[in-house]
């Protein structure tokens, strides 16, 4: 069964890569043709070479205005309705496109549908349908696809793609944040102590070197500029709260001490964390290697390490979104939106029955650690 799943996932990945390669080649050809048209315009009156370029541009369907393509084919500038095209097929292209099934994407559409009229009233670009806007923005969050390839896919300009993403992102954030409760909803607690009801961890996201205050985003041990996101999770393995966009020079304990929102959520309970959260009042931090010098401390280390594996699975899920896993090249507000959307998406998928096998692995890991002591 696992072998069949791996083969199916491999086939899906191959299809994704083939589709992306085709789009990149199309975008490269369009850029080449635009450059050719520009050179033809510049060199039109500069002898034989200029005339040759002009003729080459003429017979490769290049227009004269601003280097844009003017094809003889009809409907070349007609916007492609990708959502309608994918809905009309029996194959679940949504799984390839945004890593969601068709049913899961319909849940997202229903959740944001009440904002449809507001968005179409606010925007000046009314050509793209509401469903395609959501699909395009989710594709950008999950796969971090270039504007050029998205423009090829939808047959629009790159600047139009940029506007659509910036307009649609707040609507997705508003919906997915509703899946993050920001209050204690679980009655489960740690096996170490009944008042330890949460687990905390931080995940870094690398960014391009900022123009100003570069030292605030840089940390030597990470060897790069980045922001950190802190995740608070309960023992039902749901994300309880998220705090995003901390400057990279801050260590985990400093961010946790200044995080009053997490303190209010935790209340009189405690949080389990790794050794980076030492000297924080409401966090029970892990032990460094030189501190595990007794049987009790060894027991605490092994059990706490096993219980923190569940939040590592959350980090791994979020890193599957390529906008977060690589170097983010856009505005920090869009990065914050990507983090919140991914956190809400994790909770939504968990409520729909995903990650059962991961939960079983974590449970077996904790039991094996307890038996070995």
pLDDT digits 0-9 by tens, 280-291? 889 988 888 888
What is the pLDDT at residue 74?
A: 35
Q: How long a stretch of residues is the chain?
A: 373
Q: Out of 55-59, 118-122, 159-163, 366-370, which region has the weakest mean confidence (pLDDT)?
A: 55-59
- The most confident of the ranges 91-100, 316-325, 362-371 is 316-325
First to last CA, the chain: 34
Q: Is 2 exposed, middle or buried (0-12, 13-18, 19+ CB in 10 A)?
A: exposed
157-173: average pLDDT: 90
Higher-scoring residue by pLDDT: 243, 68: 243
In degrees, rounded to 5, the angle at the alpha carbon of residue 166 between the alpha carbons of residues 207 and 15 is 75
Q: Give pLDDT, residue 76.
A: 37
Q: Burial of 181 by CB count in 10 Å (0-12 exposed, 13-18 middle, 19+ buried)? A: middle
Report which of 47, 48, 76 is spatially closest to residue 62, judged by C-alpha positions.
76
Task: Phi first, then psi: give them for residue 300, nearest 5 degrees.
Answer: -60, -45
User: Residue 21 contacts by C-beta under 8 Å, 6 or more apart in sequence?
Assistant: none
Is 227:247 a contact under the CB 8 Å cutoff?
Answer: yes
3-class DSSP string for the chain: CHHHHHHHHHHHHHHHHHHHHHHHHHHHHHHHHHHHHHHHHHCCCCHHHHHHHHHHHHHCCECCCCCCECCCCCCCCCCCCHHHHHHCCCCCHHHHHHCCCHHHHHHHHHHHHHHHHHHHHHCCCCCCCHHHHHHHHHHHHHHCCCHHHHHHHHCCCHHHHHHHHHHHHHHHHHHHHHHCCCCCCCCCCCCCCCCEEEEEEEEEEEECCCCCCHHHHEECCCCEEEEEEEEEEECCCCEEEEEEEEECCCCHHHHHHCCHHHHHHHCCCEEEECHHHCCCCCEEECCCHHHCCCHHHHHHHHHHHHHCHHHHHHHHHHHCCHHHHCCECCCHHHHHHHHHHHHHHHHHHHHCCCCHHHHHHHHHHHHHHHHHC
Please give the average per-residue pLDDT across 243-262, as a whole number.
Answer: 88
Q: What is the CA 369 to chain-centroid distance, rounded? A: 33
Q: Which residue has the higher pLDDT, 320 or 68?
A: 320
* 57-104 tens-digit pLDDT: 444 443 433 333 333 333 334 677 888 888 887 777 787 788 888 888
Is residue 302 predicted with pLDDT exceeding 60? yes
Please report, rounded to a whole number, the percentage of residues in the chain having pLDDT higher than 70.
74
Per the listing, tokens 């070197």 go with: 209
Question: pLDDT-derived band of residue 111, with 50, 70 and 90 as boundaries?
Answer: very high
This prediction's pTM? 0.76
pLDDT attached to residue 27: 61
| Measured distance CA(142)–CA(145) in Å, rounded | 8
């Amino acid at each position: 069964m696992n072998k069949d799943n791996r083969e199916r996932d491999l086939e899906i990945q191959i299809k994704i890569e083939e589709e992306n390669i085709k789009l990149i080649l199309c975008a490269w050809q369009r850029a080449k043709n635009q450059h050719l048209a520009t050179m033809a315009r510049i060199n039109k009156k500069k002898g034989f070479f200029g005339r040759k370029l002009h003729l080459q541009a003429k017979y490769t369907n290049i227009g004269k205005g601003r280097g844009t393509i003017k094809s003889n084919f009809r409907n070349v500038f007609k916007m492609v309705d990708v959502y309608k095209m994918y809905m009309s097929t029996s194959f679940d292209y949504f799984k390839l496109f945004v890593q969601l099934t068709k049913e899961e994407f319909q849940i997202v559409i229903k959740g944001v549908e009440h904002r449809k009229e507001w968005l179409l009233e606010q925007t000046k670009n009314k050509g793209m349908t509401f469903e395609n806007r959501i699909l395009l923005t989710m594709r950008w969050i999950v796969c971090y696809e270039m504007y050029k390839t998205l423009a090829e896919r939808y047959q629009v300009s790159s600047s139009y793609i940029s506007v659509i993403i910036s307009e649609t992102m707040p609507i997705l954030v508003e919906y997915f944040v509703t899946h993050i409760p920001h209050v204690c909803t679980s009655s489960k607690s740690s096996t170490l102590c009944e008042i330890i009801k949460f687990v905390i961890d931080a995940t870094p996201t690398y960014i391009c070197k900022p123009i100003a205050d570069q030292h605030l985003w840089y940390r030597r041990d990470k060897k790069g500029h980045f922001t950190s996101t802190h995740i608070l999770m309960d023992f039902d393995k749901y994300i309880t709260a998220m705090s995003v966009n901390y400057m990279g020079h801050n260590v985990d304990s400093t961010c946790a001490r200044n995080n009053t929102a997490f303190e209010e959520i935790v209340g009189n309970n405690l949080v389990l964390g790794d050794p980076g959260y030492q000297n924080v009042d409401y966090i029970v931090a892990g032990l460094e290697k030189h501190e595990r010098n007794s049987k009790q401390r060894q027991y605490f280390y092994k059990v706490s390490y096993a219980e923190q594996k569940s939040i590592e699975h959350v980090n791994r899920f979020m890193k599957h979104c390529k906008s977060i896993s690589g170097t983010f090249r856009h505005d920090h507000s869009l990065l914050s939106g990507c983090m919140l959307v991914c956190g809400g998406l994790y909770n939504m998928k968990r409520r729909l029955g995903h990650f059962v096998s991961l939960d079983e692995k974590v449970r077996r890991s904790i039991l094996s650690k307890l038996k070995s002591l």
